A and B are shown apart, each in its own frame.
Chain A
């Protein structure tokens, strides 16, 4: 369900253009500069699924977080085309990044930030509520996705703070995927999921892809999403080239 007010997600249109992106961490107490990656460049179009590959510790999650601006890059550009124009995520004002995260850019990790005394269905419905969907409608959709990801009905009103890791992850996914963003960043979302939930996730991602959502993912078991992947990007220890498949 592409949101018309945000501008249609045209298949094939460029969503993200990453140019010469570099990240390292200056650790002041160690007097050290920890290198993560540099010279990362690639283009991502609407409806494309880019898989990040490379050995452990090479910086795949770091790259996702740098695009999301949880990390500040040292150099380069992350041009993001959205409903209101084109923004360099590497340099945009914090308030603009916050705005884009609410409307245009989603990030799915394996961790849920549960809040005390907030029911699972309210956590899931929240992105819709913030987008102005009426409470009842938002709750109805939230329950649909909780059911789809296999969260038992009697847990919907419960607080996820007490859930097991796997059940929390289902709530997390339902929340993250309830409102399709233009760009979706996936950081090992299948970790700690059972078979049924994993199948539901892959089905949901396929729907989003068909609706034009551009995706970049890191997967411990890439086989889960093999059918969705259009291209992969191999991160090497020092330099990176965009490898088209």
Chain B
């Protein structure tokens, strides 16, 4: 047995939260994803690294049910859903995402209405999930913003008047307002100043520690993955070339591409 063959989990109890298998997607002649599999266990943080065009963001969008592969299955261990989530219709997908999956995009324009108030942006998520009482909406939006370490004296300002770091906190508040089972982060700190990046990562880390939220974080920045993730998948040209514990993949990379990536960073 080669040592690179790792055994199936034996000690960890319970089922994985997320399982994706055999994911493939082509855009015309371009292979976006080829035979990708991913497993995420409750409470863990999975990192996905790779260069632009590696397919990592496409994969994350599929986890958020925004995109459907040509082949492959996706299951979440949640009581209200069963079977392949890609078979759900648009309405069921929207409900599932609103209630159970939070996402923070690199570009806040993708996740927020830039002209509406920040608290309104967060409350919208609660409205989609069926909450109608104004006082409850406002109180819960306020709480989510507070947990995301957003300055509450600015909660009625629209995101377009906020700094990049604060916009990401509004996205985060919106993503966690309903205590999602799965939090997806797509380059959440790319484009922020280094000091602001550290603060946003610290907020995420704190959330992870206090609430044990299961997260998948996509980044081309190895430092972000090293800080946040327990395990990491390395993607290149639509395929997973290596997978392992973060310290192992970064200290003892096996695949030539991962070695290049790690050495380029150091």
Residues of A within 8 A of B (CB): 25-29, 65, 69-76, 84-85, 87-88, 90-100, 115-118, 126, 129-130
Name the segment of B5-13, B123-131, B178-186 touching the other chain.
B5-13
A110–B245 alpha-carbon span in the complex (Å): 21
User: Can you show 7 pairs from A to B with CB atoms below 8 A apart?
Assistant: A72-B248, A73-B3, A91-B3, A93-B12, A95-B231, A98-B230, A99-B12
A185–B251 alpha-carbon span in the complex (Å): 17
Q: Sorted from nearest, which 3 A-B pairs have the closest CB atoms?
A: A28-B256, A93-B9, A96-B11
Interface residues of B toward A: which range? 20 to 34
Within 8 A of A (CB), among B243-259: 243-245, 247-248, 251-252, 254, 256, 259
Are B251 and A94 closer than 8 Å at their CB atoms? no
Given contacts A73-B3, A93-B10, A97-B245, 5 further A-B contacts (CB under 8 A): A85-B10, A91-B7, A95-B12, A98-B245, A117-B199
- In the assembled complex, B193 has its CB within 8 A of some CB on chain A: no
Within 8 A of A (CB), among B216-244: 227, 230-231, 243-244
A96–B13 alpha-carbon span in the complex (Å): 10
Residues of B within 8 A of A (CB): 1, 3-12, 41, 44, 198-199, 201-202, 205, 209, 227, 230-231, 243-245, 247-248, 251-252, 254, 256, 259-260, 263
A239–B51 alpha-carbon span in the complex (Å): 41
Are A74 and B251 closer than 8 Å at their CB atoms? no
Are B198 and A94 closer than 8 Å at their CB atoms? no
* Of listed B9, B231, B256, residue having the most chain A CB within 10 A: B9
Are A72 and B9 closer than 8 Å at their CB atoms? no
Q: Which residues of A contact B248 (CB under 8 A)?
A: 69-72, 94
Are A75 and B7 closer than 8 Å at their CB atoms? no
Are B254 and A26 closer than 8 Å at their CB atoms? yes
Q: Which residues of B contact A130 (CB under 8 A)?
A: 209
Of the candidates A72, A91, A97, A115, the one whose C-beta lies within 8 Å of that of B227 is A115
